[in-house]
Amino acid sequence: MAPGTLAQPGKLGRIPVYSLVVLGLGAAFALWYTGIGGGRQQAWALPFLWGYAAAWVCYVAAGVTVSRARVPRWVLVWIVVAAVGLRLIALARTPPLSTDVWRYLWDGRVANAGVNPFQYAPDAKELEHLRDANWQRINFKSISTIYPPAAEMLFAALARVRTADAKAFAWAFALFDVGNILLLIVLLRRTGRPAERVLWYAWCPLAVTEATVGVHVDSFALFFLLLAFVLTDDEGRPGLASGLAMAVSVMGKGYAVLALPFFVTYGRARFLVPFLLLCGLLVVPYVGAGTQLFAGLGAYLSAWETNASVFLLLERNLERVTAHNFGTARALTMGLVLIVVGVLVWKQRRGLTWLLGASFAAMGAQLFFGAPTLPWYVLWLAPALCWWAWPGLVLFTLTVSAQYYARWLPSSDRAAHYAWLWAGYVPVYLLLIAQGAWWWRRRLSAARDQSASD
């Protein structure tokens, strides 16, 4: 990724700086409003979307303010305090956004009963004796778990804390997300950026909602990826500690594997050896499942395309020429992502900022080219806004949620879903293309100026 922000640093008066207090309170009120629907079937979607959009407007205004101002020290404290408050309000008011947590709880329940969670799908007869009221809430009961070993260990630990509901998971993932904010502050300072820019993640409605009431394991795995960045030296060279943190991240949610090539290129054996050793140790307790270790992941890769853009276009057009349109689209989009990663490895430079940018660019490529593109997957890209608050990426944090959750509006049907999908993606792509053209033009101009001075 190339540097680029919504605004350049400058001087702002006292009133704009104090407006951050008003904007934080406005975002809090907007998130409170998301609970107006009470979580009832379909009734929750419209209040959620209105509240989310209002919180997003407050968030963008606050982000522009901290990007343009040299702010006093109290502002960073307010940003962190408000971020914690936003997450508490979401936990109290925003309706449940996903059923994934019931699979987490089930996997933990199975593991605590002494059964390998990779061995059987939830509807297997061998697990009938473990079923309770929460079992009915699990989606895709015929598919064995897709979550990696570190995630399964976490699920087992949290299921021991509380087995009747998902509160232990919600609070744990919210705490990991607060940890993400603190790690981002460390990374911003180490890369010479104002720590207040953490607001671009800390107040992002997508991060607030998906890491709390979404109750997604991504916030746990993202924590260890950010920790792996923190544990590199100032030149971006990872070692043993980074390798261990990255292993937990990859074994917590596979998305972190997209950043792995850049860590290996920089760290080589001193990073790769501890990474592989810990990955192996985390897998050992589950090897008894044999090929079932990969059964859930295989089912996922062969069927899921929700909320995609480029993948969806390819898949729909390929069905005219081949019956294997889904698999072909998967192969093509994975190839595109690998090309992006290969170019970034080829162009790789020293420095922590470059390591961060390359990693986020690879994850962004998967989100835009691949499938599925679920709102909680965008948690992996949202930290990049602290360095590169590109308008298209900022808008994406609104549209990716709006187009996904609009499916639960009372008037939603298949045609409406696709209308929402493209209404969300078109402006995002236009803004990203415009940003890329601006950056390329600026780079060429700098090269011409350098040539003229020589």
Above 70 in pLDDT, residue 15?
no
Residue 332: CB partners within 8 Å, gap ≥ 6?
A: 314
Mean pLDDT computed over 95-124: 95
- Per mean pLDDT, which range of 38-52, 320-334, 337-351, 426-440 is the poorest? 38-52
For the chain, the average pLDDT equals 91
Mean pLDDT computed over 119-137: 93
Mean pLDDT computed over 115-142: 94
- Per mean pLDDT, which range of 6-20, 53-67, 68-82, 273-287 is the poorest? 6-20
pTM of the predicted structure, to 2 decimals: 0.93
Above 90 in pLDDT, residue 97?
yes
Mean pLDDT computed over 4-9: 43
Confidence bin at 440 (pLDDT 50/70/90): confident
pLDDT at 6: 45
pLDDT at 7: 40
pLDDT at 39: 57
pLDDT at 443: 79
- How many residues are listed for the chain in this entry? 454
Mean pLDDT computed over 126-136: 93
Mean pLDDT computed over 367-381: 96
Cα–Cα distance, 377 to 299 (Å, whole number): 18
**What are the residue ranges spanned by the domains of the chain?**
14-453
Cα–Cα distance, 222 to 219 (Å, whole number): 5
Question: What tens digit of pLDDT does each residue of 225-240 get?
Answer: 999 999 998 777 899 9
Above 70 in pLDDT, residue 11?
no
Residue 132: CB partners within 8 Å, gap ≥ 6?
A: 109
